[in-house]
Chain A
Amino acid sequence: MAYDQETVRTLYKKLLSLYPRAFSERLGESMEQTFNDLCNERKQQTERGLFGFVLWMFIETSAGIVKENLTEIKRGEIIENIISNNKSSAIIGFLLAVPLTILLSIEIFDIEPLSGFFKTLTTEPDSQRLSAFGRIITIGALLLLPLGFIVSLAPVVRNVRAGNGLTANPINLLIAAALFIFIATLVISFIIDQYPCWIGVPNCD
């Protein structure tokens, strides 16, 4: 039984870590103490198990976690924190480029069975044209790329403005440069591919 209570307390502590960092640093310890006090009180009051009470506390606290995180998102603090933190912005910038990189790698290197699977999923039956789902996937992956570029470049711009120089965040600069080259290559490839159609060459697609 003592083991069960210890497990419940550990789980509650883990749950509290889902609060926004500032909230959890300021009030997390007090919340944990209050939870322990309430558990002790219930244990003294009733011979029955604490399941119902613990369940209510977990649900009530989870609702609080959702509310506090939504409040933080509304204030823009999460996005602000990501952009202001060099490491997280570099990681997120990199991750945003991953979907398109995977899609292009599958397409260019014709990696089977993934290539066949994606073609079935994203093209119209009996045709090479993109289906509605395929268009959403492609446009979504394309839009993530400039977003990744902006996120990874933001700390570099901030540092330059603060007079710290362009190379103060070398990793961010490297990822931003790689993403810029990636975007430029895609744009140039698109122009080369579509140029004949723009100048009126017949039967181009």
Chain B
Amino acid sequence: MTTTSPNPPLTPAVFHILLALSSGERHGYGVMKQVEADSQGKVNMGAGTLYGSLKRMLDAGLVKESDKRVDPEMDDERRIYYRITGVGTKALAAELERYKHLVTLARKRKLLPETFAYGV
């Protein structure tokens, strides 16, 4: 018999979107820019990946749509904003916990560069 974990591992795209939304509501373009900034330009998400993931996240209740409004820093077009939900925050925390565990494990096995630099 298999049991389903309440917070299964997230895909990289979902993880980055949740991370981007953890600091506040954003519209699609805003999410893309935040993901780019968070990953120091290493993750360049396209519209297909972003909105495909957002659709699944909306269905799973990880994010919610907010009312349409104008972004004062951009043009006067009204945009839908997305915000992280309680379920999304928990899923992000669980994923970060998994990453933390993996980093600890990597440190123990001396796989991280600083471990090599400073030695035991």
Contacts and interface: CB of A to CB of B under 8 A. Distances in A.
Interface in A34-75: 34-35, 37-38, 56-57, 60-65, 67-68
B49 A64 contact: yes
B46 A31 contact: no
Nearest to B45: A60
Interface in B58-103: 58, 74, 77, 79-80
Contacts of B50: 34
B52 A31 contact: no
Interface residues of A, number: 21
A62 B46 CA distance: 11
Contacts of B47: 31, 34-35, 38, 57, 60-61, 64
A33 interface: yes
Contacts of A23: 55
A64 B55 CA distance: 12
Interface residues of B, number: 18
A67 B47 CA distance: 13
B29 A34 contact: yes
A56 B55 CA distance: 21
Given A33-B79, A57-B47, A67 B28 contact: no
B12 to A, nearest CB: 15
26 contacts: A23-B55, A26-B58, A30-B28, A30-B51, A30-B80, A33-B77, A33-B79, A34-B27, A34-B28, A34-B29, A34-B47, A35-B47, A37-B29, A37-B74, A38-B29, A56-B46, A60-B47, A61-B46, A61-B47, A62-B48, A63-B48, A64-B46, A64-B48, A64-B52, A67-B48, A68-B55
Interface of A: 23, 26-27, 29-31, 33-35, 37-38, 56-57, 60-65, 67-68
